[in-house]
Amino acid sequence: MLAIAALILGAPHDARAFCGFYVGKADEPLVNHASQVVIAHHDDKTVISLMNDYQGEPSDFALVVPVPVVLQKGQVHIGDRELFQKIDAYSSPRLVEYYDPDPCRIMDYEMPMAAAGGMALNREAAPSPAEAKALGVTVEAEYTVGEYDIVILSAKESSGLQTWLQQSGYKIPLGADRALEPYIRSDMKFFVAKVNLTEHNRTGLTYLRPLQFAFESPKFMLPIRLGMINSQGPQDLVVYMLTQNGRVETTNYRTVKLPTGMDIPEYVRTDFGGFYKAMFDEQVKRNDMRAVFTEYVWNMGWCDPCAGPPLSRDELRSLGVFWLDDQPGGATPMYRRPGGGPMIYPQPMTGATPVTLTRLHVRYSADTFPEDLIFQETQDQENFQARYVMHRPWDGSPSACEGAKNYFDDLNKRKAHEAETLADLTGWNLQDVIKKAGLSPESQPKPWWQDIWGS
């Protein structure tokens, strides 16, 4: 999903994910996938974690994010990249596999597969420092955290800020001042990070670790507009919301749950990521790219079936969930169904963990998302997962028993229906689906007129 080329100018793509944009010094193309952000929010307190899969030279990395308040050193932290992978795995759209019971007996199990749903993250950027200037730009704070040199700026006018960034070596895209202006007028500050090469080398890591920052502000929003400057097309953003009470939705855009629970043909198993991507594309199209999609809403204490294990208390705390009490950490031990069935974490008897995860996936363009995303936490605690079902047929023979014949009759109808469902969800050509599903051409529904005159 990604967009790639874009970074050419430095900023845009990345911006997506983050609430800001990456700026690069070099013109080298940087690879982006979908951006990922984790936001833990409760009582006007927010912890944002920005995941970064920047692939370029560390010396070329830089990131600009509007923030509501000046962040002091203690409010900025280096996160753990693995937690993004875990939370992604836990909340990914999933394909569940069921085996048809022997129609001559009774039995049933299901196997969930984690779905690498085709979404990825995004990151990149390039770097540069700054010299203090009298451009109406104030350096509110300056410090080094982990491998990042960080500057918190406030500005009086956007052109001054743009000049400051340019003189400091940041490659600012054209039109940046126009995009910066509303944030300056709203009295927001700018979090600007670049890589401290000495510190980076000391970590011995080949990648840049996620940045996290904590602040208190009634603004529950994600500034995406900055990332749209000179963007060359739609961008993907996945937001993981961790809240105490319920599902999170956007208040200024429609929040839509993805189609879920559908039966789809078996062959999808070989390319579930491709299926999910096509389905998401189709849903985006049907909603004119004007909706935010809900992929997952679940209490963090359990899952069923699980695409990945729930995060432990320590892991949640590390992602900014500050309201968990100090009980010992660790999720309930994983439980497997007898017979090698699907992985589930049962709902704890002690009650739900006070953390709800809402996974929102949005594809946006400058035209269809004129405003930043504004969120609200609802009281809705109903669980939701993007889940697709695949039935494995029984491999017996129609002559095995009386019930077997009926079973195979029904099976053919079911397969035809699954093919139609798949074509409808993804916008794929039904003929192609039928072919790939290994169904005979007769499986497709006859045109209504075919039987009129008998042919």
Considering only 27, 43, 186, 450, the residue that binds another protein (CB under 8 A) is 186
Exposure string for 198-208, b = 16+ CB within 10 A, e = fewer? eebeeeeeeeb
Q: Which stretch binds another protein (CB under 8 A): 129-137, 276-284, 375-383, 388-396?
A: 375-383
Task: From 213, 190, 218, 217, select the one nearest 75 (Cα to Cα).
Answer: 213
Q: Which amino acid is at 12?
A: P
- Long-range contacts for 5-9 (Cβ within 8 Å, ≥24 apart)? 5/29, 5/232, 6/30, 6/32, 6/231, 6/232, 6/233, 7/32, 7/124, 7/125, 9/171, 9/173, 9/174, 9/230
Per CB under 8 A, does 370 bind another protein?
A: yes
Distance CA 336, CA 119 (A): 27
Distance CA 362, CA 368 (A): 11
How many other CB atoms are found less than 10 A from the CB of residue 44? 11
Closest contact distance (angstroms) between CB of 200 and another protein is 36
Per CB under 8 A, does 432 bind another protein?
A: no
Give φ, ψ of 375 to 5 degrees. Answer: -115, 160
Per CB under 8 A, does 250 bind another protein?
A: yes
Q: Which stretch binds another protein (CB under 8 A): 5-13, 34-42, 59-67, 182-190?
A: 182-190
Per CB under 8 A, does 409 bind another protein?
A: no
Bridge partners for 144 per DSSP: 149
Q: Nearer to another protein by C-beta: 217 or 406? A: 217
Q: What is the dihedral of CA 171, 209, 33, 419, to 10 degrees?
A: -170
Considering only 73, 185, 336, 413, the residue that binds another protein (CB under 8 A) is 185
Per CB under 8 A, does 159 bind another protein?
A: no
Considering only 27, 43, 367, 432, the residue that binds another protein (CB under 8 A) is 367
CB of 34 within 8 A of CB of 122?
A: yes
- The distance of Cα 120 from the centroid of its chain, to the nearest Å, equals 7
Closest contact distance (angstroms) between CB of 363 and another protein is 16
Per CB under 8 A, does 269 bind another protein?
A: no
Q: Nearer to another protein by C-beta: 246 or 348? A: 246
CB-based burial label for 135 (10 Å; 0-12, 13-18, 19+)? middle
Any idea which residue has 């001559």 for tokens? 104
Per CB under 8 A, does 256 bind another protein?
A: yes
Per CB under 8 A, does 182 bind another protein?
A: yes
Closest contact distance (angstroms) between CB of 112 and another protein is 25
Per CB under 8 A, does 136 bind another protein?
A: no
Q: Nearer to another protein by C-beta: 34 or 297? A: 297
Residues 314-353 that bind another protein (CB under 8 A): none
Binding mask 196-225 for another protein (x = CB under 8 A): ---------------------xxxx-----
Q: Which stretch binds another protein (CB under 8 A): 52-60, 205-213, 249-257, 415-423?
A: 249-257
3-state secondary structure of 232: coil
Q: Which stretch binds another protein (CB under 8 A): 12-20, 57-65, 233-241, 380-388?
A: 380-388
Per CB under 8 A, does 288 bind another protein?
A: yes
Per CB under 8 A, does 282 bind another protein?
A: no
Closest contact distance (angstroms) between CB of 257 and another protein is 7
3-state secondary structure of 269: helix
∠ CA 123-322-385, rounded to 5° = 60
Closest contact distance (angstroms) between CB of 444 and another protein is 28
Distance CA 36, CA 82 (A): 13
- The distance of Cα 143 from the centroid of its chain, to the nearest Å, equals 30
Per CB under 8 A, does 45 bind another protein?
A: no
Considering only 28, 380, 420, 424, the residue that binds another protein (CB under 8 A) is 380
Closest contact distance (angstroms) between CB of 24 and another protein is 25
Q: Nearer to another protein by C-beta: 312 or 368? A: 368
Q: Nearer to another protein by C-beta: 220 or 394? A: 220
Per CB under 8 A, does 290 bind another protein?
A: yes
For strands 45-50 and 211-216, give the pairing.
antiparallel
Instruction: List residues binding another protein (CB under 8 A).
Output: 158, 178, 181-182, 185-186, 217-220, 246, 249-257, 287-288, 290-291, 367, 370-371, 376, 378-382
